Structure 1
């Protein structure tokens, strides 16, 4: 034998229930055991008859009036033992008002491409409201949806909505799950809570980040560590300066050597065609050299650098060569 136990304790957590006049409520006491247990419903410790809804694991109270207020107890028993659960029902005489969205939800959300996220909507209502999610249809997207609804100058598509959960504080909760997010899922979402007296809504935006896999990978330029930009720029400039200085020094040295060689050459002796060679002309002294102009001095040294010319001449059957120096 097995004593009875409640099989759905999660649905029995809310033990104090407030309902307005004209609404309905369902009280659950599902249990199991061996042998199968029996259940008896009591109101304020008095048994309820079947006509009052006191048959089975669920007690249904419809079209509530103030007389329905009280404590309802389920008594479950078999040969092995018994268990009890008590609910307190309060029927409130007040006018039903339209639902109100409480808290801050839904809030703007950002999700990675292909990721999963959700919106929440919390509604307070005297009676169980209808909670519906909608998404705004952007211009040019009308053809993607079979049916849309128009609100003002905007159009919306109605989204599938899951179960509405009641909370101990008298509010109702619903979630919208978005899995494998795509760029088409981005946009404005609206949570709408409605009952027989009206409706309330609140909007939030979903941002879907771009797909990183579809973006071309760029290779950033990496600067070697320890070499700041001034050093990188200064090294080529320094090399160029050193090469330029070396070339200038080489050019000046070559010019100095050429000038020294020209100054050291003695004046070549002159020869006439018929006479003996003449002694070399005397070198000008420092005073004579200083008296010449720079153009005359340069022209005289240029003539010394010219090679002598040979003029062959036949005299009495013999070939004579005359050397003429350019003056």
Structure 2
């Protein structure tokens, strides 16, 4: 920039320098997603494309607090890049980058970055379960992810509903009480959250028990049933349990 002035009959020219400051801005592309889906143990890089004059200083926040002294998170390229190594569930949160210079500041508060972890299932060594009749068994299924996944079970491809004999524990495992031959089959544990789905298959074999009875001695036969509505009559014929109606809760009938 320059200015000119006329004094009496003499013209003089002075040059002045102006420093124009430009308020910071952070560029967003249409392909950017608000949510960043990360597999547990993977590396993730969060970009902050900040511009301005003079070049703005960039800082990062996690859930509103400055990121400092964290082993897994490193700020690189003068703040334009936040790198998280070996991502863990504890790294989940809302990340915000802030760009500041003498003209003002800009941030990504409107579009925070949220880390979600795809579901992973603990691979237990036991995937083939065997249990004698009338005992209890727990089919192991432990899911991890963020947000916390929901767990559902299927038996032979069909949804499995909870009952008094069958219930899903808080860990996600399936507990079956008083197992019967009809419980034999293939079971699938499905864990799902907003980031994805994972399945774990296993099998259960219920071992029948043969009872040997000496002639003219006493024997005990056990019949375990469940259903809706309650049976009006249950009788024992040899080793066959005969039901007139199904009942709403598990029931044991004992005949001597």
On whether the aligned pair clears a TM of 0.5, the verdict is no
Q: Hey, which of these two has a bigger chunk of helix by percent?
A: 1
TM-score by length of 1: 0.29
Computing the radius of gyration over CA atoms, which structure comes out larger, 1 or 2? 1
TM-score by length of 2: 0.36
